[in-house]
């Protein structure tokens, strides 16, 4: 078909809302390529270049010429709100079918059937859904005019741990007619990834690759080992920096902690994580409208978020790869002459990125346990049933299932709600790939530590690492920020970290299948459950968390300053009605450790201590149990209450560590079943399991 460049430009101006908008270098050519059907195209352009305008304008032009709808596969449906709004301004009718809008599926499917949808947006996981394939994809497959694969680097080995279901695209592409219009887009593809994509998306894949240089960005790295130093640095600089920005952390806990610290310094920031839920659109809009100074975010605020005038991106810890870092820092300064990109490095980040690397793939033991459990159950097992039979975390079991089911040929398959073994065995190539990718991630981790040590040339380093040409790089406009935090603010940050407490939410439901020994199942009655509790710190964290670990496994006694921290927490918490006595979780392995802590705490609070709970059976430590169901079964029948009347009034229930919360749940149920008043849990530390 003939391409109308003038019409394409008009659509760009309508979509951007800018009457004098012009195409970026390569944009017009990419739209023409897609519309005229010149073959498969991989578009590699930096964040903010306008890749979404290419596929939305191409879709509009194809529809105006009588072609069928476009299909867009993206992992970012929840973060494409502003792009979809731009498409709507151009008159592109976009619809999405995903797990969050199932109430609208029937309506959307009807609109698709009436040819009232111009572009259908789906996640890669939707391709594995039988209902979608039968009721939607089969009906439009022959009419699809353009297939768009957004964030196409996720197809490559680099991204398998990000979105395993992208591997389904590889199989679909193999079955497509060679002349189908296919457009793949990404901002983060080095030569290795592009070679991989050329193999998967061929034949005759053409590549349009833009410049990686971001002249507006002033990059620097700051090594500040302790959390307190980095918190102090943020407190000094955030309010002074012009404009608005993003502060990235590696974990949800850090995002929430950094946000709480900055709020305590009267700064207008909010945490944005996977836990933010329905508030995410509101927080995104608040940043877009400059109603918050910054969002403190995990990668939940990642690809797909577009604020051209973002003035700074600061990393609280170093990410695991150059690709991830370039993508995140590249959100700053798209429409500004100058913006800051500051990378801080701390002592805990290696442990965090090590965890991400080590948990990216299942182990041979985990795969063997899942297959063994399925072998013993020819009728199949659901995921909750596997949790009861395999001592691995829920996320680990789900990852194992996903990767095994996406192998070709796959050793397991889903029949209804249950997983069953197929006649195929897992190829050794799977483990070769795991080893190769693990080695690659280790190399990427080391590369980022090289970046941390730089005193200059940061942009050149990133461009070279991404296989670009750094010759055009000039000195940044902005001067570097100071790298030494104010010692007084560091002390205030230390005090803040010592004051920090964490909630212990009561469990309201027994595990699937209940606890047979105690003969309980289903919902835990409100009169039989614990009340919301508190933990002093995170296990092993800098400061108090390290003291908990040393006290338990080295000294065999928790120091008095942990008792003081518990008293301070209790006084700030001030639970009502107030506890009138104290008890604790017993242990056969460490019979005096927690009782000693609880007695000293009771003395400090002026309350009596009563050891009313007993350990009736020796079981493995809870940390040896890898998922919630296994942890609940491990507690079943192992706790009891001494004979006789319990003290009257609410009770403070003390333990050293809380992870799955099943020990506290069972203990509270036992106490309340025997007539105890409200049970308030207090633990020294939360572990990763929590």
Residue 237 DSSP label: H
pLDDT score of 157? 67
Residue 409 DSSP label: S
Report the relative pairing of strands 412-415 and 418-421 from DSSP bridges: antiparallel
Buried b / exposed e along 388-408 (16+ C-beta atoms within 10 A): bbbbbbeebbebbbbbbbbbe
CA gap 40, 101 in Å, rounded = 31
Per-residue pLDDT tens over the stretch 338-397 = 999 999 999 889 988 998 888 889 999 999 999 999 999 999 999 989 988 998 888 899
CA gap 139, 109 in Å, rounded = 10
**Contact 166/10 with Cβ under 8 angstroms?**
no
CA–CA distances in Å: residue 622 to residues 25, 245, 519, 659, 662: 58, 41, 21, 8, 9
Per-residue pLDDT tens over the stretch 432-451 = 989 988 999 999 999 999 99
CA gap 275, 268 in Å, rounded = 19
Q: Sort 161 into a burial class: Cβ within 10 Å, 0-12 / 13-18 / 19+.
A: middle
**Contact 260/234 with Cβ under 8 angstroms?**
no
CA gap 489, 231 in Å, rounded = 9
Matching residue, tokens 């041979």 = 364
239, HSE (Cβ side, Cα atoms, 13 Å): 11
Q: pTM for the complete prediction?
A: 0.83
CA gap 483, 36 in Å, rounded = 53
**Which residues have C-beta within 8 Å of that of residue 631, sequence separation ≥ 6?**
622, 625, 659, 660, 662, 689
Using alpha carbons, select from 583, 599, 589 the residue that is nearest to residue 654: 583
pLDDT score of 689? 45
User: Which pair of tokens denotes residue 242?
Assistant: 């012009």
Report residues of the chain scoring pLDDT below 50: 159-161, 689-690
CA gap 262, 246 in Å, rounded = 13
CA gap 306, 315 in Å, rounded = 18
The total of other beta-carbon atoms located within 10 Å of residue 61's CB is 23
Going along the chain from its start, the domains and CATH numbers come out as 5-209 (3.40.50.300), 217-486 (3.40.50.300), 501-686 (3.40.50.2020)
Q: Sort 435 into a burial class: Cβ within 10 Å, 0-12 / 13-18 / 19+.
A: exposed
pLDDT score of 129? 80
């Amino acid at each position: 078909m003939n391409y109308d460049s003038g019409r394409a430009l008009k659509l760009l101006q309508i979509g951007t809302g800018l009457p004098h908008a012009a195409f970026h270098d390569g944009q017009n050519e990419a739209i023409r390529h897609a519309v005229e059907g010149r073959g498969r195209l991989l578009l590699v352009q930096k964040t903010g270049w306008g890749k979404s305008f290419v596929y939305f304008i191409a879709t509009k032009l194809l529809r105006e010429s009588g072609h069928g709808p476009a299909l867009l596969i993206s992992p970012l449906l929840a973060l494409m709100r502003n792009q979809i709004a731009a498409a709507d301004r151009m008159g592109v009718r976009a619809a999405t079918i995903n797990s969050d809008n199932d109430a609208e599926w029937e309506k959307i499917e009807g609109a698709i059937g009436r040819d009232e949808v111009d572009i259908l947006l789906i996640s890669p996981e939707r391709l594995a859904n039988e209902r979608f394939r039968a009721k939607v994809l089969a009906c439009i497959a022959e009419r699809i005019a353009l297939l768009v694969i957004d964030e196409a680097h996720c197809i490559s080995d680099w991204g398998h741990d990000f979105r395993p279901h992208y591997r389904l695209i590889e199989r679909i592409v193999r079955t497509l007619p060679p002349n189908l219009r296919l457009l793949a887009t990404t901002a983060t593809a080095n030569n290795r990834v592009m070679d991989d994509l050329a193999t998967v998306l061929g034949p005759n894949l053409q590549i349009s690759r833009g410049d990686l240089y971001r002249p507006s960005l002033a990059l620097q790295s700051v090594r500040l080992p302790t959390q307190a130093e980095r918190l102090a640095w943020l407190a000094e600089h955030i309010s002074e920096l012009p404009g608005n920005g993003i502060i990235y952390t590696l974990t949800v806990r850090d995002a929430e902690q950094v946000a709480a610290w900055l709020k305590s310094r009267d700064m207008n920031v909010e945490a944005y994580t996977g836990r933010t839920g329905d508030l995410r659109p509101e927080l995104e809009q608040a940043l877009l409208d400059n109603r918050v100074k910054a969002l403190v975010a995990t990668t939940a605020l990642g690809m797909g978020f577009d604020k051209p005038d973002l003035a700074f991106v600061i990393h609280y810890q170093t990410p695991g790869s150059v690709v991830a870092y370039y993508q995140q820092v590249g959100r700053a300064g798209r429409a500004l002459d100058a913006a800051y990109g500051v990378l801080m490095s701390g002592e805990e980040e290696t442990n965090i990125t090590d965890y991400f690397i080590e948990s990216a793939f299942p182990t041979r033991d985990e795969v063997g346990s899942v297959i063994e459990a399925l072998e013993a159950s020819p009728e199949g097992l659901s995921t909750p049933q596997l949790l009861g039979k395999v001592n691995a975390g829920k996320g680990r079991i789900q990852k194992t299932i996903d990767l095994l089911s996406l192998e070709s040929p796959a050793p397991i398959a889903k029949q209804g709600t249950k997983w069953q073994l197929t006649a195929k065995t897992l190829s050794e190539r799977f483990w070769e790939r795991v080893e190769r990718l693990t080695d690659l991630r280790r190399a990427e981790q080391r590369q980022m530590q090289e970046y941390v040590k730089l005193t200059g040339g940061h942009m050149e380093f990133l461009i070279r690492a991404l296989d670009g040409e750094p010759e055009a790089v000039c000195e940044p406009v902005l001067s570097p920020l100071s790298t030494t935090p104010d010692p007084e603010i560091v002390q205030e940050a230390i005090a803040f970290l010592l004051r920090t407490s964490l909630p212990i939410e009561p469990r309201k439901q027994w595990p699937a299948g209940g606890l047979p020994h105690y003969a309980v199942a289903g919902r835990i009655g409100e009169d039989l459950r614990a009340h919301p509790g508190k933990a002093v710190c995170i296990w092993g964290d800098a400061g108090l968390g390290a003291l908990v670990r040393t006290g338990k496994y080295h000294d065999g006694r928790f120091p008095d300053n942990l008792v003081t921290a518990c008293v301070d927490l209790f006084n700030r918490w001030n639970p009502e009605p107030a506890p009138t006595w104290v008890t604790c979780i017993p242990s056969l392995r460490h019979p005096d450790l927690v009782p000693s802590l609880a007695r000293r705490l009771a003395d400090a609070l002026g309350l009596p201590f009563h050891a009313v709970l007993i350990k009736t059976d020796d079981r493995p430590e809870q940390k040896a149990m890898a998922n919630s169901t296994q942890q609940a079964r491990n507690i079943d029948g192992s706790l009891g209450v001494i004979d006789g009347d319990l003290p009257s009034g609410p009770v403070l229930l003390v333990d050293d560590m809380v992870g799955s919360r099943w020990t506290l749940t069972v203990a509270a149920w036992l106490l309340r079943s025997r007539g105890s008043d409200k049970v308030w849990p207090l633990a020294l530390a939360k572990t990763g399991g929590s």
